[in-house]
Structure 1
C-alpha cells in the first residue's frame, strides 16, 4: 500500500491530530451531549449515563481492537497505541472544560466539532496511525482491501447510534449522525489534500 512520507516528523504530526480530535470532542461534542459514534461514542454514552471517566473508558474499550492490530501491522499498532493513550489522557484531563468553555449550540457543535475531529483523524491516518475504534478498523480495512478510510470509519462509528437513540431520543441521535458525517468529510478532505502534487511524496511500503 502507499504510506505518506511526511515532510515533518511523525512525532509532531500525530500529536497534532490527537489534539484536534480531543478538542473537537471536549469543546463541541460533550457540551451538547452528542457523539462521534464507535468506541468514542460508546465511551461518551457511558459517560453521559453513569458519569464514568470518558478517557479511561475510551482506553479500555479499545483494548480488543488493538489486540487485532498487533497481529495485523506492528507499525500501525505502535503508532496508534501512542495516539490512543495520549487521546485518552487529553480527553480525561480536559473533560472539565466542557462545562466552562464548551459551545452549547448543537448544530454548530455537530458541524464544527465533526469537521475538526475528522481533520484530526485524517492527519493521523496520513502518518499511518489512528485513535482506535472506527479509525483503526477503517485503517486496517483500507490497508488490506483498499476500501475508503473515511467510508469504513463512518460505517463503524454509526453502529452505536441505535443505543444512542434508545437512551437519548431522536434529536441527539440526529445531530450525532451529522457530527459523524462531518467527521468523515474532514477525513476525506485530508485524504484529498495529501494527493495534491508537490505537497507530499509517496513511497511504497507493506505497512508491516
Structure 2
C-alpha cells in the first residue's frame, strides 16, 4: 500500500476511534479492552489524557516488538501514535457540541461501533493502533495457550479492573462495548487471511 493511502486509512480510523471514545465511552466512564481500556481507566482516575497514557503504556510493548517482531513494530507504531494524538485532539470538542441525550447502554453500543470500525478499517489495510497482542503471543509460547484466548483474558482483566476501580455499571456496559467492538472489527476484517494483528 502506498504511503498516501495508508495515511488516509490511519486518519479515517483514528477519527472513528476518537469519536467512539470521546463522545460515547468517556461521558459514561466506559472502557474498551487492552491498552486503550487501561488508558481510559487512568484518565478516569487521574485526569491524564488517554492518548498520552496509551503512548506511555505502549512503550514497553513496542520495545519488545523492536527486538522480537519488527514487522509488528513498523505496522503499528504510526497508527498508535496518530490515533492517540487524535483521541486527545478531539477531546475538547465534547464541550463544544451539545451533549448526546441517550441512555448509557446505547452509548456503549454506539461507542463500540465507532471504535470497532476504526480499528477494523486500519487492520484491513495492514496497520493498527498497537495493543496487547504481542504480549499475548509471548505468553502463548510460554504457557502453550491459544493466543486468542490470552487476548480475551487480558481484555477481560482490564474490564474487571475498571469495574473494581470505577463501578459495576462500568463493568457491565463495558462488556457490551467490547462485544460490539469485536463484532464490528470482525466485520471489517472479514475474508482477510493470515492477519494476526489485534489492537486494544
| TM bucket normalised to smaller | 0.7 to 0.9
Report the RMSD for the aligned CA atoms in angstroms. 3.0
Distance in 1 of aligned mates of 2:26 and 2:95: 9
Tell me how many residue pairs correspond in the alignment. 188
* Per-residue deviation, 1:42: 1.1
TM-score w.r.t. length of structure 2 = 0.79
1:74 aligned partner: 70
Distance in 1 of aligned mates of 2:60 and 2:68: 13
Q: Does 1:180 align with 2:178?
A: yes
Q: Which ranges of structure 2 fall in alignment gaps of 5 or more residues?
A: none
Q: Does 1:83 align with 2:71?
A: no
Check 1:85–1:157 CA distance in 2 against 1; reply closer, same or farther (3 A cut): same
Query: How far does the alpha carbon of each residue in 1:12-43 deviate from its partner, in whole angstroms, 9 at most, with x for none?
Result: 22322222111111111111110112211111
Distance in 2 of aligned mates of 1:112 and 1:137: 29
Q: How does 1:51-130 map onto structure 2 within 5 Å?
A: 51-101=47-97, 102-103=99-100, 105-130=103-128
Check 1:51–1:123 CA distance in 2 against 1; reply closer, same or farther (3 A cut): same
Distance in 1 of aligned mates of 2:172 and 2:132: 19
Mean alpha-carbon deviation: is it higher for 50-59 or for 95-104?
95-104
Check 1:163–1:70 CA distance in 2 against 1; reply closer, same or farther (3 A cut): same
Could you tell me whether the CA contact under 8 Å between 1:134 and 1:154 is conserved in 2? no
Distance in 2 of aligned mates of 1:166 and 1:190: 32
Mean alpha-carbon deviation: is it higher for 67-76 or for 172-181?
67-76
Could you tell me whether the CA contact under 8 Å between 1:13 and 1:123 is conserved in 2? yes
Query: How far does the alpha carbon of each residue in 1:102-146 deviate from its partner, in whole angstroms, 9 at most, with x for none?
Result: 5353112111110111121111112222212246667x68xx9xx
Distance in 2 of aligned mates of 1:158 and 1:29: 17
Query: How far does the alpha carbon of each residue in 1:180-200 deviate from its partner, in whole angstroms, 9 at most, with x for none?
Result: 1100001111122x55xxxxx
Query: How far does the alpha carbon of each residue in 1:55-100 deviate from its partner, in whole angstroms, 9 at most, with x for none?
Result: 2111100111111222343233123111111111111111122344
